[in-house]
């Protein structure tokens, strides 16, 4: 499959892209590239997860751990933020704050109670009315421990579940699950102590903090912070290994230079990681769809349902199996750019302000950007980036003319809007199937391709006749 899809007007040609197994690419490289989407949700500078992966693996090597344990550490540190999107909506609700900058800033406070309180006073509800702000702060002061325990539990358990869907072993799942536990028992969600915390978690936490403080204040700041938490947050043995490992020139050169990808792929766990076949790539795309959908309660299940509706249209229109599989991946990942948009905007009841619209309308461009950087998904980036375009040229972000909107995009757009209409939204309840089709019909030729709408109607009608429909309200 070439990178550039032929630009077709509607149904002139049905191309047959076939997803190709990529023997030269392994799971470590694919996840390294996708981890940039996790950095966006965490408000971290690009490459944070990859740098944590490098630091964690260097510490593990210094500790003389086995090849198997190093592999667990490599993937725990790389994927530690898989559950990151799952607590974003709750952070906005509780702290009346922008989840992305909140998460970024929360990681740089020094861990003391005074610093935490100062942070809450500074951060909570800066854009809200005074009364709401006081109420939010009082709630956090009264229930702060329980609230942060709940946020961390959601995030870490969700991350572990997604790692399981990506076929990682229990050691990696547990490494992610217990990431926020501290050596002295002051961590969350269980307050585990010492060696009751998996070694992969203990190392990944040091790696995470080292990268954040290094980015903020350089090598000395990272060293000082890691030493300051020795024996409290951090396992002393892990801190000592960090202090030895960081003396090697390559340790910092790798994360300060622009060849981190090469350094990572030279590491043994990357070289020995599983090769990708098409089924595995599908599983990883589906797992990332879950990361995307977990961002907001209003998008739960959206990417998977859009994938189903897109595939139903594609089947109805006679696309072959390889082409359908390729298009399903585009559908699973079409909204990955939403990870870069704050939940304060995504979940806002009522009409967004103009500046908020600009942010919302940027998400397809973010989707295209993210996918373009992932070799195996590069040829999906134009499809994902165009899913809010319209045939009359009034869509976004590019305002493409109909001749430039390929038929795969037309299928995805109809599926996307059909799901948006038939699911609850912050500002309205779900519509029935016939109400949704009435809206699609009205915009045939201006927004939507009539052949795609007709195909979806036939497919949904058959689904109803078979008695199996994904949470649709009929009427
Ligand atoms: Fe979208
Ligand atoms: Fe969507």
Residues 307 and 373 in one domain: yes
Question: CA distances (Å), 49 to each of 40, 59, 176, 205, 371, in order?
Answer: 10, 15, 13, 11, 17
Assess whether the previous peptide bond of 213 is cis (omega < 30° from 0). no
Residues 192 and 308 in one domain: no
pLDDT at 11 over 50: no
- The domain boundary, picked from 223, 258, 274, lies at 274
Spacing, Cα 309 to ligand 1 middle (Å): 15
Distance CA 441, CA 240 (A): 66
Spacing, Cα 410 to ligand 2 middle (Å): 13
Spacing, Cα 310 to ligand 1 middle (Å): 14
| Unique residue bearing structure tokens 């309200």 | 473
Residues 250 and 284 in one domain: no
Minimum-distance ligand to the CA of 331? 2
| Ligand 2 ion local residues (Cβ < 5 A) | 335, 416
Residues 44 and 147 in one domain: yes
172-218, pLDDT tens digit by residue? Answer: 999 999 998 999 998 888 899 999 999 999 999 999 999 988 988 89
The one-character DSSP state at 341 is S
Residue 53: partners with Cβ closer than 8 Å, 6 or more residues away: 32, 35, 74, 75, 77, 78, 207, 264
Residues 167 and 230 in one domain: yes
**Residue 269 in tokens:** 């766990």
Residues 252 and 337 in one domain: no
Beta-bridge partner residues of 26 = 275
User: Known catalytic residue: 348?
Assistant: no
Q: Is residue 442 part of a domain?
A: yes
371-393, pLDDT tens digit by residue? Answer: 998 989 999 999 999 999 999 99
> Quick check: 463 and 324 in contact, CB under 8 A?
no
Name the pTM for this structure. 0.81
**CB neighbours of residue 286 within 10 Å:** 19
pLDDT at 156 over 60: yes
- The domain boundary, picked from 251, 274, 297, lies at 274
Closest CA to 110 of 194, 241, 200, 233: 233
Residues 45 and 159 in one domain: yes
Residues 310 and 270 in one domain: no
Spacing, Cα 362 to ligand 1 middle (Å): 9
Q: Is residue 390 part of a domain?
A: yes
Q: Range with the lowest mean pLDDT among 103-112, 242-251, 290-299, 310-319?
A: 103-112
Q: Is residue 286 part of a domain?
A: yes
81-132, pLDDT tens digit by residue? Answer: 888 766 555 555 555 566 666 666 666 555 444 555 455 555 555 455 545 5
Residues 310 and 263 in one domain: no
**CB neighbours of residue 74 within 10 Å:** 27
Distance CA 77, CA 179 (A): 9
Domain that holds residue 392: 278-466
| Unique residue bearing structure tokens 């020139």 | 249
258-271, pLDDT tens digit by residue? Answer: 999 999 999 988 88
Catalytic: which of 338, 429, 442, 457? 338
Q: Is residue 370 part of a domain?
A: yes
Closest CA to 450 of 416, 413, 420: 413
Spacing, Cα 332 to ligand 2 middle (Å): 9
Residues 145 and 174 in one domain: yes
Distance CA 44, CA 53 (A): 14
Minimum-distance ligand to the CA of 364? 1
Residue of higher predicted confidence among 396 and 471: 396
Minimum-distance ligand to the CA of 416? 2
Spacing, Cα 368 to ligand 2 middle (Å): 13
Q: How many domains does the chain have?
A: 2
- The mean pLDDT of 403-419, rounded to a whole number, is 96
- The domain boundary, picked from 244, 274, 304, lies at 274
Q: Is residue 65 part of a domain?
A: yes
Spacing, Cα 364 to ligand 2 middle (Å): 9
The one-character DSSP state at 275 is B
Distance CA 28, CA 16 (A): 28
Q: Range with the lowest mean pLDDT among 318-322, 324-328, 355-359?
A: 355-359
> Quick check: 365 and 394 in contact, CB under 8 A?
no
**Per residue in 446-472, is it b (16+ CB within 10 Å) or e — as a string?**
ebbbbbbbbbbbebbeebeeeeeeeeb
Residue of higher predicted confidence among 203 and 40: 203
187, burial (CB in 10 Å: exposed 0-12, middle 13-18, buried 19+): buried
Minimum-distance ligand to the CA of 363? 1
Spacing, Cα 239 to ligand 2 middle (Å): 44
Minimum-distance ligand to the CA of 306? 2
């Amino acid at each position: 499959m070439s990178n550039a899809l032929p630009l077709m007007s509607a149904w002139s040609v049905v191309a047959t892209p076939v997803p190709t197994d990529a023997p030269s690419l392994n799971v470590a490289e694919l996840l390294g590239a996708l981890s940039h989407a996790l950095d966006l949700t965490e408000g971290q500078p690009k490459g944070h997860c990859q740098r944590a992966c490098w630091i964690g693996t260097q510490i593990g090597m210094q500790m003389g751990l086995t090849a198997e344990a190093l592999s667990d550490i490599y993937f725990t540190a790389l994927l530690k933020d898989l559950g990151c999107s799952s607590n974003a909506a709750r952070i906005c609700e509780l702290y009346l704050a922008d989840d992305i900058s909140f998460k970024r800033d929360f990681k740089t406070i020094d861990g003391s109670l005074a610093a935490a309180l100062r942070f809450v006073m500074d951060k909570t509800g800066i854009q809200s009315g005074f009364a709401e702000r006081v109420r939010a702060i009082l709630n956090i002061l009264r229930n702060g421990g329980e609230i942060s325990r709940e946020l961390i539990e959601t995030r870490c358990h969700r991350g572990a579940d997604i790692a399981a869907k990506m076929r990682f072993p229990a050691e990696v799942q547990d490494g992610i699950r217990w990431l926020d536990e501290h050596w002295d028992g002051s961590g969350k969600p269980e307050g585990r102590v010492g060696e009751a915390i998996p070694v992969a978690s203990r190392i990944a936490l040091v790696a995470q903090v080292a990268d954040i403080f290094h980015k903020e204040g350089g090598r000395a700041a990272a060293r000082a912070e890691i030493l300051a938490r020795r024996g409290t947050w951090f396992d002393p043995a892990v801190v000592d290994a960090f202090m030895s490992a960081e003396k090697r020139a390559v340790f910092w050169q790798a994360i300060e230079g622009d060849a981190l990808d090469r350094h990572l792929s030279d590491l043994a766990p990357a070289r020995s990681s599983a090769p990708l076949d098409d089924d595995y790539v599908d599983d990883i795309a589906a797992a990332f769809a879950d990361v995307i959908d977990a961002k907001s309660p209003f998008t739960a299940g959206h990417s998977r349902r859009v994938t189903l509706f897109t595939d139903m249209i594609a089947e109805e229109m006679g696309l072959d199996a390889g082409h359908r599989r390729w298009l399903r991946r585009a559908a699973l990942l079409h909204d990955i750019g939403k990870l870069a948009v704050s939940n304060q905007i995504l979940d806002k009841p009522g009409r967004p302000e103009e500046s908020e619209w600009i942010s919302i309308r940027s998400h397809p461009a973010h989707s295209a950007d993210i996918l373009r950087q992932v070799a195996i998904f590069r040829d999906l980036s134009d499809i994902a980036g165009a899913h809010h375009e319209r045939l009359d040229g009034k869509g976004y972000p590019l305002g493409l003319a109909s001749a430039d909107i390929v038929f795969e995009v037309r299928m995805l757009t109809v599926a996307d809007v059909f799901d948006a209409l038939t699911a609850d939204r912050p500002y309205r309840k779900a519509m029935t199937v016939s109400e949704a089709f009435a809206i699609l019909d009205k915009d045939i030729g201006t927004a939507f391709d009539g052949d795609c709408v007709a195909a979806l109607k036939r497919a949904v009608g058959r689904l109803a006749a078979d008695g199996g429909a994904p949470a649709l309200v009929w009427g």
